[in-house]
Amino acid sequence: MFEAKLANAALLKKIIEAIKDLVTDAPFDCSESAMCLQAMDSSHVALVSLKMEVGLFDTYRCDRTINLGMSLANMSKALKCANNDDTCMIKYEEGDSDSITFTFADTKRDKTQDVTVKMMDIDSEHLGIPEQDYAVVCEMPSSEFQKTCKDLTMFTDTLNVTATKAGIVFSGKGDNGQTVITYSPNSSADNE
């Protein structure tokens, strides 16, 4: 049996919304210590690696290591049924091996909703992700990064990122025009 409860459905909604266009089908590997996802996009260019540790959940139970294959489009549809402040229980029982149930609870309105989603049989191979020392580390709100990428996709499918001491430049150029977005370092930036 696998059971994990998040106090706030918004967290999982945002995660799935952020990756569902990049990765269509995802193998969630659940163990007693974490719920993990590692998947590549269809062109094998981008890698998504997610680790949701036990401490992130209100309750967490995983009797044995299991792989839960899901269509992220279907998972996203299920999560859209939840209000952002609903609790979200994810449940998989061994006897019901072809589906996962999401239970959303709204304690303010004494309402619960169960949404059952069919699982997929997905082969998952774990890729070793080596530790890296990066020349530049940029930290920004994910909503700002999302808007930057969305603005760039209006003109191009290719995103260029250039980092200097003067700031970080996101740019894209296509047949119909170009976009250049520059972020200057803030006062807490480390200029090493």
The CATH number of the domain holding residue 77 is: 3.10.150.10
φ, ψ for residue 36, nearest 5 deg:
-120, 155
56 within 8 A of 82, measured Cβ to Cβ: no
pTM: 0.73
pLDDT at 125: 66
Do the beta carbons of residue 55 and residue 26 sit within 8 Å? no
Can you read off the two tokens belonging to residue 63? Answer: 């009797």
Average pLDDT over residues 148-161: 86
Task: Choose the weakest-confidence range: 36-45, 48-57, 103-112, 179-188.
Answer: 179-188
Pseudo-torsion of CA 126, 131, 133, 138, nearest 10°?
A: 50
Within-domain flag for 12: yes
Q: Are residue 81 and residue 168 in the same domain, yes or no? A: no
pLDDT band at 10 (very low <50, low <70, confident <90, very high): very high
pLDDT: is 165 or 37 the higher one? 37
My answer on whether 101 and 148 are in the same domain is no
Do 50 and 111 belong to one domain? yes
Confidence of residue 192 (pLDDT cuts 50, 70, 90): very low
11 and 76 assigned to the same domain:
yes
Q: In sequence order, what are the beta bridge partners of 35? A: 30, 52
Give the number of domains in the chain: 2
pLDDT computed for residue 186 by the predictor = 78
> Is 152 among the domain residues?
yes
| Cα 8 from Cα 28, distance rounded (Å) | 19
Q: Which domain holds residue 24?
A: 2-118
Residue whose entry in the numeric block shows the structure tokens 């019901």: 96
Q: What is the rounded average pLDDT for all residues in the chain? A: 88
Q: 99 and 166: one domain? A: no
| Same domain flag for 111 and 32 | yes
Which of 55-64, 94-103, 119-128, 181-190 is the most confident on average?
55-64
Q: Which amino acid is at 61?
A: R
| Within a domain: 148 | yes
Q: Is 155 part of a structural domain of the chain?
A: yes
Q: Are residues 16 and 91 in the same domain?
A: yes
Confidence at residue 124, expressed as pLDDT on a 0 to 100 scale: 63
Q: Are residues 14 and 48 in the same domain?
A: yes
Residue-wise DSSP of the chain:
-EEEEES-HHHHHHHHHHHTTT-SEEEEEE-SSEEEEEEE-TTS--EEEEEEEGGGSSEEEESS-EEEEEEHHHHHHHHTTS-TTSEEEEEE-TTSTTEEEEEEEETTTTEEEEEEEE-B-----PPP------S------HHHHHHHHHHHTTT-S--EEEEETTEEEEEEEETTEEEEEEE---TT----
31 domain residue, yes or no: yes
Domain boundary among 69, 103, 118: 118
Is the same domain home to 31 and 113?
yes
In terms of domains, do 24 and 112 share one? yes
Highest mean pLDDT among 49-63, 93-107, 177-191 belongs to: 49-63
The verdict on 173 and 114 lying in the same domain is no
The pLDDT score that the predictor gives to residue 190 is 55
Q: Are residues 114 and 150 in the same domain?
A: no
Task: Give the pLDDT confidence score for residue 65 in this predicted structure.
Answer: 93
> For residues 116 and 99, is the Cβ–Cβ distance under 8 A?
yes
